[in-house]
Structure formats: structure tokens, C-alpha cells
Structure 1
């Protein structure tokens, strides 16, 4: 561990790991608040414009066919550049990238709120996505290097996971409220004061963290993995819009796979790889990220069929449907608060398994939904308990995928974890949309409900797959003793 890494962890240079603080000091508490506030804001950004898309299209003259690019431009950059920026944070300074990304986010949000035409708005969304790709892994790696392995880090990651997951739900509700009461422009403007407040305080309490020696950045690896991820994510978004058999979808996905294979080949030969293959061969990293990918894919995408169920089957308004997902958000917050205690007593693998069982059982329970409003109790109860289970998996994944690595690789580990999160969020809804479209045999309520249940069944099967991979391939870990 370098001197700067050690100082970032709150210990004196040369001290042993056991000397790391076992309780939150006032400075660490403020660091945690700043990082959590930033992560929550970024999570809100993923969903805050969804409800406002039709209004934005009418105000700025977006063609209906191009309206989805408001979300796609953000998602492409947020997911495609995350791994690259995670490594850049390791090489050039995590705090530096964190603060620089917040500056870009503030400027892009201001431009988006002031946009007068589609081109200006799309450009703002691109830079918001790039800022998210920089800030998210930097903030997460600052968190893992500021808090030592054990109860403090587990608590920090638990709160982080809970706030991020509830941020997606909050974004949907907040977007509708701001659009109805003020203007869709406030969905952009709201970022500016939050980011400026963090920028004002963070330099005085968050210490820089970077290696003493700065290795050469692996440009061939960075280019191939970034282009590969962009192609895969673009292909997934096109699948949701044009179908899985469209030429655009198939060509994009094939190109993405080829570029990712090129990336793997590059990493096996270069002297300073972007992602050392030895890290990917660690079971905790590889299978932990598989569990995380499935967790984010399933719970975020489950909102899609449930939204259709609430509005098209039960006839609720969009605002009522959005508010109903507050119960899911409450479940994720409960799971995030509970997860560190369970990890502390049983270890992260058992927490992943317990969470996977809960999420599988209560996602499958949604197959019992009926066509009248008397079934709302089942949707709300299953959403809450499934949300608890999902957050146990997410926090377990974050702890598993970032444990046992030296501080100089934490940016890489958190970059991988963040990329897993962004890709899971991005690919989930297109998959569920394609399943619903293929399974529906008509527009009548029974046919629609049947199609939605097929999508829910696929979702539950994916959760079960994640549970089995964690149970079979992750090593058992003992609960921390300190």
C-alpha cells in the first residue's frame, strides 16, 4: 500500500491493517455523507427523465422515434466508459477524478436545463453520462480505500447500495413531481446545487488516493473494451426498440463480442494491462460480478412489467404507479441497512445466498397476480420483500468483488463493479420488453397479463441462476472477527 493510499484509509503510514479505525470518526462520517449524497444523486439521474420524456419531446421538437436517445445517450456513456475511468482513477488520483467529474456533471446539468433544441439536450446527456462514468467508480473506490475491510466498509457499502437502489425509485417519482409542479428542466437543475455543495466541502475532508508510481495506461485495452461495451449496450437498447432479430441489434452485439475478445487478447500480452487477467481469475471478482450483474438486471427491469401491470391492467395513473414503487424502495433501504449485520455474522457468500433465495421466492410470488385491484397487496408485499433480498445480494456482491485486493487495485475493482451495475441496469429493460412483446398474444387484459407473467417468470429464473452460481462457485468466507 502506498503512503497516499494508507492516509486515505485513515491510518498512519506504515501502520498495520488492524490499527485502522473501528468506529466512524467525525471526518470519516463527513466523507461518507459526501460520497453517499453523490451516489444517490447519480442514481436519481438514471430514472428522473423517464416520466418527462413525452413533455421534453413536445417542448424541444424531438421526433417520437428519436425520443429514446435522451435516455440512451446517457446510458451508453455511463456504462461504456466506466471501466476506463475506474482505471484512470487508480493511475491519476481518485479524488481528482471525483472532483473533475462533478464539475463536468454540474456544467452538463446546467446546459441540459437550458437546452433549446434536441442537439443541445443530447450533448448535455452525453456529458452527464461521461461524468457519471468518472464519478461513480471514483466515489466507490474512495469509499473502499477510506474505510478498512470489515464492519466499517460493510456498513458504508450497505448504505451506498441502499441509497443507490432507492435513488432509481426516487428518480421516477421525483421526475414526475418536478415535471408536473415546475418544469422538466428542474430534473437537470436539481443536480447543480448538490454537486456544488459536494465540491465546496469535499476537498477539505477527502484525501487524495493514488499509487506512488504511475504505470503507462493501456490504450489498446482501453479503446477495445470501451468500444466493445458501447457496441453491446447499443445493441441491447436497439433490441428493446427494434427487436432481437433486427440487423442493427445483431451487428452491434456481434461487433461488441468481437471487440471484447480483442480486449481479452490484448490484456494477455501487454505489460501494464488495463485489467490484469489475474484479477479476473479471482473467484470473488469474477463470480461476485456475475451475481451483481444479475441482481441489477433483474430488480431494475422488474419495474417494467410491473409498471404495465399497474397502469394497463389495473388502470392506475402514472403518478400512482410511480408512488407504488416507493414500497420497493423501502425494501431496498431495509436490505441495505440489514446487509452489513448479516455479512458480519455469516459472511458475504451466505448473505448472497439468503438474498438470492428471498428475491427468487418473492419474484416468483408475483406470478399469482390477478386482473383486479384486490391483488395490490401481493404486489406491494412481494416488491418489498424481493427488494430486501435484492439489496442483500447487491451489498454482498460489492463486498465480495472488492475484498482481498490491494488498495492500488481498488479503482479497478470498483470500476468493474460499477460497470457491472451500469450494464445490468441498461440491459435489463430491453430484455424484459422483448420478452413481454413476444409473449403477448393480444391487447386484451388477459393476454397482456399473460405476457407480463412470462416476463416475471423469466426474471425469477434469472435470479435463481445468480443464486446457483454464487452457491456453487464462490468460496466460503468467514465472518470478520474485528
Structure 2
């Protein structure tokens, strides 16, 4: 059987320069992915060395998520207004600088502060990089191929970061911060050469929505803080913070409706699949991060595996870095982004459902089918989801679309981690039993199933719309 070509003729082929550009942007996304994944393994060693209490050590990760999710939308809009290359390179520079500060930190407060600043930098760097990808490759097969590679490398950062974290922590936890400095510095040098200069879309900052920026950023930070507090069991703090966030979001919506230069054109959420893909992405990432935390705790707390052994267990999920660029563009060309995205969510649902029969003596072989299905899930879902979010949008709004999608990812991660922690015996994994783990694994399974429902609905609507047009 002959396979249809992935690309149209010559104009749709990747050039050496475009491959180089894509590798730089993929490298930055990989850097962001391994950064948080490595810390998942390194936190116990960091807490022991710096004398952090068990109840506060999680802030090494939570501070990063607060800065990242809180400033993502502002970062995306800034890229659209002031130049994607400029915002990307500045964000990467700050990311590298504060990673170095984290490596030299000799106290908990300095490390947590550095992590928050690193997260803020990622909040500007990631949507800017995403919009450079979508604006550099025309909509269609070429962009689908680029986003498949981009998504695969990003997902690979999440999975391979745990392996790298285990290896680096064995030498010294400080290398978990110094390694990103080395990689980030290299990306800066190459990025300056390959990313074409761009000009800000506004001649000055007069059109920048300051009120909307401050309001939505405060709301985003408040929501993530509330989720973190909920995961710690501080329900009153979480409820009060959520109430404040709700008030800020209402104020943001009212302001955006009357602002002459809105940070977010609210009608963009009704365009194409941006809202459905972002919602499904929130559920998908929440399911994955919750699953990853539960399996990590199961292996280390219940089974007594070392951080390195745990990290190596997840290495097979990095197979998505091979599957995505080779297979995903072919499937998208034949079936469309919504269908392939939904297949990825279905693969995740099947993967997490397999762990519901978890036993106390499971080995690597018992986990292997689940880990392979997760690799296929990321290969099929990550890139097509990003492509679906920007389909039909004007290029000038790709940055804010990237901000919305990536904000959904970060909220999903925070929500998934909090939800499984609450179910897993009130944030006391040391006392959790096998039944507690099985019960908690229902959370990622249910979240992934909801993502399937959203993806299938979007797919059905697109097929219905195509029939009407024909």
C-alpha cells in the first residue's frame, strides 16, 4: 500500500535553516521540560542539604509553577506586541541567569525566589517560542510537521528530565541547575544567529493593556496558589484565594470588553478549537503530572527504589521523540488534527486505566505497557493539540494563543498534582497503602477520559462542518 506524501511539493519542504531554527526552539522547550522534571527527583536531596522542612520543600517546584502559569498570558501577548525574537531571547537570558542563581543558592528562601523568577522567565519564553514556530511555518503539512517535532521534544523533556535528574543528583543536586545554564547559553548563541529579527507591532507601549495585564496575572497567580494550598490541605486559604481570583477574573473580563487595546480579545476563545483544545490540554497534562507523581511515590516510598532507578523507569516514555516526527504528521495528513489529538487522549486513558490494578510487587515489566501507551499519547496529542489551537487564527494572535494553551498546561499540572495529593491520604505519601494508590489513580484516568470526550466532540463538529461546506 502506498503512503500519501506528507508535504506538498518543494515550497512545503524544510530547509536547513528552518531545521536549525526549529531545533533552537525545540531546545528551549526541552530546557523548560527537563527543568521541572529534574527537580521532581532532586527535591529530597535539596531539602536535606538546605535544611528545608518536608512541608515547605514543595515550594521549590510550586514557586516555579506560580511564576510560569501566572505570567504565561502576559508573556504571549508581549511577544505579539513587542517582537517574538526579542521576548524569546530576553526570557531565555533571564531563565539561564536565575538557573545559575539557584545552583549557587545556600538558603531555602533564595532558592525559592530564584525558582519563581525562572518560572516567570519561562512564562515569557515559552509562548514566544511557540508563536515563532507557528509564524515561521505556514499552516498545513509543514506546520504540522514542525509542531509534531516541537511537541515531541517538549514531551521528551518531561520524561527524560527524570532520568537526567537522577543522574545529576547522584553527583550533586546543584548540577540540576547548572546543566540548564550550559544548554541555555548554547541556545542563546545559536538563537541569536538563526531567529530572524522582528519589529514590535506597536511603535511604543501606549497600546499595551497595563490594567488587563496586572489583573489577569494576579488572578492566574492566585488560582495556582490556591491549588497549591489545597494540595497542602489549607482549605480556608485556598477558598479565600479562589474567591479573590474569581473577583479579579470578573474585573478582567469587564475591563477587556471596554479596553481600546485589550490584552486578550475575548472572542478569540470562540474561534476554531482554541477553547476545546486548551481545556482538553489542561485535563491531559493534569492527568499526566498526577500519574507521574503517583508512580514516582509508589516506586520510591512503597517499593524503596532509588531516584536513579525511578528516573530510568520513565525513560521509555521518551520514545515519543521518535514516534511523533515519523508517524504523527502522516496521521494528521490523513485524519486531521482533532482525530489524532483524540487518539492521543484515548491512549493516555488506556495507559492510566491499566494502573488501576496496581499490585505491591509490580516490576518494570508490569509498568512497561502503561509507559509505552503514555509515549504514544504524547506523540499523538501534544503537537496536534498545539496546531489545533492556532488553526485559522491571524498570525498577530499566535503569541496570545500560545499563552492560553500553555497556561492551560500549567494549570492542569497544578490541578492534577493537587488532586492526587488530596486523594492520596491527605498529603502523607509515607503512610499511603496500596489501596490509597489505586484510589488516587482514578483521578488521572478520569481526567484523561474527559479529554477524550472533549476531543471527540471537537472532531465530530469539524467533520459536520466539513460536510456542510461540501
Fold shared by both chains (TM-score > 0.5): yes
**Aligned-residue offset at 1:91:** 0.5
Aligned residue for 1:405, secondary structure, equals coil
Asked whether the equivalents of residues 47 and 168 of structure 1 are also in contact (C-alpha less than 8 Å), the reply is yes
Pair 1:234 & 2:225 matched: yes
> Could you tell me which residue of structure 2 aligns to residue 85 of structure 1?
75
Shift of 1:239: 1.4
Matching residue within 25, 48, 57 for 1:58: 48
Deviation at 1:51, TM superposition (A): 2.2
Out of 388, 406, 422, the residue aligned to residue 394 of structure 2 is 406
CA distance in structure 2 between the aligned counterparts of 1:334 and 1:309, rounded to whole angstroms: 28
The alpha-carbon distance between structure 1 residues 242 and 225, as it changes in their structure 2 partners (threshold 3 A), is: same
Match of 2:372 in 1: 384
Query: C-alpha displacement at 1:371, in angstroms?
Result: 2.3
CA 1:455–1:335: 2 relative to 1, 3 Å: farther
Residues 30-83 of structure 1: CA distance to partner in whole angstroms, max 9, x if unpaired? 101111111101111112222222322333333443222211111100110010
Shift of 1:319: 2.1
Q: 2:186 aligns with which of 182, 197, 206?
A: 197
CA distance in 1, matches of 2:135, 2:284: 24
Alignment map for 1:169-318 (pairs within 5 Å): 169-181=159-171, 183-210=172-199, 212-214=201-203, 216-242=207-233, 246-318=235-307
CA 1:373–1:221 in 2, change beyond 3 Å: closer, same or farther? same
Where do 5+ consecutive residues of structure 2 fail to align? 1-7
| Cα distance change, pair 310–115 in 1 and its aligned pair in 2 (3 A) | closer
- How far residue 225 of structure 1 moved from its aligned partner, in angstroms, is 0.9
Contact 1:301 1:428 in 2 (8 A): yes
State the partner residue of 2:3. none
In the other structure, the counterpart of 1:370 is: 359
Partners of 1:72 and 1:476 in 2: CA distance: 38
Q: Per the alignment, in what secondary structure is the counterpart of residue 48 of structure 1?
A: helix
Measure the CA separation in 1 of the matches of 2:354 and 2:43. Answer: 32
SS of equivalent residue, structure 1 residue 50: helix
8 Å Cα contact 1:173-1:323 kept in structure 2: yes
Matched position secondary structure for 1:316? coil
Q: Compared with structure 1, are the counterparts of its residues 57 and 369 closer, same or farther at alpha carbon in structure 2 (3 Å cutoff)?
A: closer
Correspondent of 1:321 among 287, 307, 310: 310
In 2, the alpha carbon distance for the partners of 1:75 and 1:336 equals 28
Distance 2:56 2:458 in 1: 43
Aligned length: 454
Give me the CA root mean square deviation.
2.4
Residue 476 (structure 1) aligned to one of 438, 450, 462 = 462
Q: Residue 191 and residue 421 in structure 1: after superposition, are their counterparts in 2 closer, same or farther (change >3 A)? A: same
Structure 1 gap segments, 5+ residues each: 1-17
Moved more, 167-176 or 142-151: 167-176
1:352 positional shift: 2.0
Distance in 1 (alpha carbons) for counterparts of 2:346 and 2:33: 26
CA shift for structure 1 position 337: 4.3
Task: Please say which of residues 389-398 and 407-416 is displaced more in the overlay.
Answer: 389-398
Aligned-partner SS, 1:49: helix
**Shift in Å at residue 469 of structure 1?**
1.6
Aligned to 1:454: 439
What is the alpha-carbon distance in structure 2 between the residues aligned to residue 211 and residue 88 of structure 1?
9
Aligned-residue offset at 1:170: 2.0
User: 2:148 corresponds to which residue?
Assistant: 158
Cα distance change of structure 1 residues 142 and 255 upon mapping to structure 2, 3 Å threshold: same
CA displacement at 1:396 relative to structure 2: 2.1
**Partner of 1:15 in structure 2?**
none
Superimposed CA distance per residue, residues 279-318 of structure 1 (whole angstroms, 9 cap, x where no aligned partner): 0112411111111111111112211221233234444333
How far 1:110 sits from its partner (Å)? 1.7
Q: Following superposition, which runs of at least 4 residues in structure 1 exceed 6 angstroms of deviation? A: 439-442
Show the counterpart of 1:428: 416
Deviation string 1:256-284 (CA, Å, 9 cap, x unpaired) is: 22212221222222122111011011241
Aligned pairs for 1:29-44 within 5 A: 29-44=19-34
Q: Distance in 1 between matches of 2:296 and 2:200?
A: 46
Q: d(CA) in 2 for partners of 1:220 and 1:268?
A: 12
Mapped to 2, the partners of 1:399 and 1:76 lie a distance apart of 26
Q: Distance in 1 between matches of 2:306 and 2:174?
A: 22
Deviations 1:75-101 (A, max 9, x none): 100110010011011100000011111
How far is 1:424 from its partner? 1.7
Indicate whether 1:464 and 2:449 are aligned.
Answer: yes
CA gap of 1:271–1:196, structure 2 versus 1, over 3 A, is same
Name the CA distance, whole Å, in 1 between partners of 2:285 and 2:370: 17
Q: Distance in 1 between matches of 2:287 and 2:242?
A: 20
1:175-214 CA distances to partner (integer Å, 9 max, x unpaired)? 2211212x11111111222222222222222113456445
Alpha-carbon distance in structure 2 between the residues aligned to 1:205 and 1:89: 17
Contact 2:342 2:456 in 1 (8 A): yes
Q: What's the counterpart of residue 12 of structure 1?
A: none
What's the offset of the Cα at 1:327? 2.0
Q: Counterparts of 1:165 and 1:379 in 2: how far apart (Å)? A: 19
- Using the TM superposition, give the Cα deviation of residue 459 of structure 1 relative to its aligned residue in structure 2, in angstroms: 1.6
Q: Which has the higher helix share?
A: 2
